[in-house]
Amino acid sequence: MEKLKSLFKSKADAAANEIKEILKEHGQKKIGEVQLAQAYQGMRGITGMVYETSLLDAQEGIRFRGFSIPELQAKLPKAPGGTEPLPEGLFYLMMTGELPSADDVNALSRDWAERAKNMPEHVFKTIDALPLNAHPMTQFVTGVMALQTESIFSKKYAEGVNKKDYWSHTYEDSMNLIARLPSIAAYVYRRKYRGGKSVAADASLDWAGNFAHLLSFDQEGFKELMRLYLTIHADHEGGNVSAHTTHLVGSALSDAYLSFAAGMNGLAGPLHGLANQEVIKWIIEMQRNLGTDTPTGEQIAGYVQKTLSEGKVVPGYGHAVLRKTDPRFTAQQEFAKKHMASDKMVNSVWRIFETVPPILQSLGKIKNPWPNVDAHSGALLLHYGMEEYEYYTVLFGVSRALGVLAALCWSRALGFPIERPKSVTTENVKAWLKGEDQIWE
Ligand code: HAX
């Protein structure tokens, strides 16, 4: 895959020169002000980092290098006979800013299939050391950490590497890690839910198709779902917990394995990626509670009130940045309309979508009452028979690797420094408010 590597390098060099010029002329310009409330309330709305691979608009949703999800669905190459975009194409786009040809995507599929071979045995043995009841995300991250022994960046750094070459070793680590993630993730699934049944990779398949095969879901419909799923979950600009954590840890020159594992520990939180398991758990509990798998809007409304009165969040709804229905939700809804329009769980998801936003809106404090990506994904997986909802965040994690590792390559190629924002204490804030001290910069 020399073409991708050299194209990436030429794009990154051009961008680095441009950034140098921009900073020379405009480096002192202000891009915002920080209010005290923002420092206390999750740094929401502070523009304070550069992350090249995607950009989120609060009203419109995510764009990857300028392309919306429907545009990606139209323009990215597909598997033979398929209609969903191949995630390899999105990775190529995020790395280079250029739409790939079918040949470019095929070359990437073959490259990753090759890099996935000869997985070190100790990775599986390390996962096996965990009890079976360990959460799938814990097992997944443990596998990624065990694979860190293969980091080229770490070896080269220990030998003494010129900082101009960081990007190249980060690129190789990222490509190797992405290539091997489906094996680790599928191993966790088969170990926990399929009695450890072994399945050989099919190197003739694309990355998502082979992942479906390794999970023992060989239906074409599930493969197509995986292609869409692994594309739309890949990136959501830089400030979300998994992307920001990967970026932050990477800024210490921790290699791609260490940085990605750190990001995955953030994805495993229920306000972030774990919400996809929480949604299905919540719907199943609601169905049990109501005694029906076809609840009416009125019944759902009652159950939402019960959830809120117990001081819990309604999973799959709300967002820190988005202020409209997540286009990733809409893309999944379109997929469901095409492939499973009469599925009962899918119909429940749609009825919840009709019912929940006005209730959340009426509370007056929730900034975004609309569904996010996690509100729909579980119902699609359930349709194809993947019932083990505790596993769902691992699928999200495999996809997220594409965005956060492409961004990590960019950060090393642009020579971004260690990230280190300033913090203050409330004592400092109180003294500053009394005019007795300054806010330390
Ligand atoms: N149900 C109930 N209450 C909610 C809510 C929801 N879905 N979303 C927000 N709120 C509450 C908040 O808890 C907060 O309450 P308090 O003031 O009492 O603390 C208030 O509304 C204001 O919150 P906000 O400013 O609108 O939202 P935040 O930016 O603080 O949080 C979250 C954004 C996504 C974390 C939030 O909407 C939430 O908890 N949603 C449910 C969990 C979820 O779906 N997470 C996945 C998000 C997408 C993602 O990252 N996927 O991986």
Is 409 within the bounds of a domain? yes
- Alpha carbon distance 292, 271 (integer Å): 27
**What is this structure's pTM?**
0.98
Report whether pLDDT(1) > 80.
no
Is 229 within the bounds of a domain? yes
For residue 297, what is the domain's CATH number? Answer: 1.10.230.10
Give tens-digit pLDDT for 188-240: 999 999 999 999 999 999 999 999 999 999 999 999 999 999 999 999 999 99
Total domains in the fold of the chain: 2
Gap from CA of 374 to ligand 1 centroid (Å): 13
The answer on 179 and 250 residing in a single domain is yes
- Domain hosting 153: range is 1-26+37-273+389-441
- C-beta of 84 in contact with ligand 1 (< 6 A): no
- C-beta of 242 in contact with ligand 1 (< 6 A): no
407: Cβ contacts below 8 Å, ≥ 6 apart:
51, 52, 53, 94, 235, 238, 243, 246, 247
- Alpha carbon distance 380, 386 (integer Å): 9
The answer on 426 and 354 residing in a single domain is no
Residue with tokens 């965990």: 130
Is 32 within the bounds of a domain? no
- C-beta of 370 in contact with ligand 1 (< 6 A): no
The answer on 293 and 265 residing in a single domain is no
Q: How far is CA 295 from the centre of its chain?
A: 31
Q: Is-catalytic flag, 374?
A: yes
Q: Which of 343, 370, 388 is the last residue of a domain?
A: 388
- C-beta of 372 in contact with ligand 1 (< 6 A): yes
Q: Is-catalytic flag, 319?
A: yes
Note the pLDDT of residue 136: 98
Q: Which of 344, 363, 388 is the last residue of a domain?
A: 388
The answer on 344 and 202 residing in a single domain is no
Give tens-digit pLDDT for 100-158: 999 999 999 999 999 999 999 999 999 999 999 999 999 999 999 999 999 999 999 99
Ligand 1 test: best mutation among 233, 282, 363, 366, most atoms within 8 Å of CB? 366
- C-beta of 377 in contact with ligand 1 (< 6 A): no
Gap from CA of 101 to ligand 1 centroid (Å): 40
The answer on 357 and 410 residing in a single domain is no
Gap from CA of 361 to ligand 1 centroid (Å): 12
The answer on 283 and 212 residing in a single domain is no
Give tens-digit pLDDT for 335-374: 999 999 999 999 999 999 999 999 999 999 999 999 999 9
Q: Which of 372, 388, 404 is the last residue of a domain?
A: 388
The answer on 431 and 379 residing in a single domain is no
Give tens-digit pLDDT for 384-406: 999 999 999 999 999 999 999 99
The residue whose CA has the least distance to atom 39 of ligand 1 is: 271
The residue whose CA has the least distance to atom 10 of ligand 1 is: 366
The residue whose CA has the least distance to atom 29 of ligand 1 is: 320
- C-beta of 369 in contact with ligand 1 (< 6 A): no
The answer on 160 and 101 residing in a single domain is yes
Greatest CA span in the chain, whole angstroms? 70
Q: E strand or H helix at 64, and its extent?
A: strand 61-64
The answer on 407 and 336 residing in a single domain is no
The answer on 234 and 157 residing in a single domain is yes
Report whether pLDDT(441) > 70.
no
Is 31 within the bounds of a domain? no
The answer on 236 and 115 residing in a single domain is yes
Note the pLDDT of residue 438: 80
For residue 119, what is the domain's CATH number? Answer: 1.10.580.10
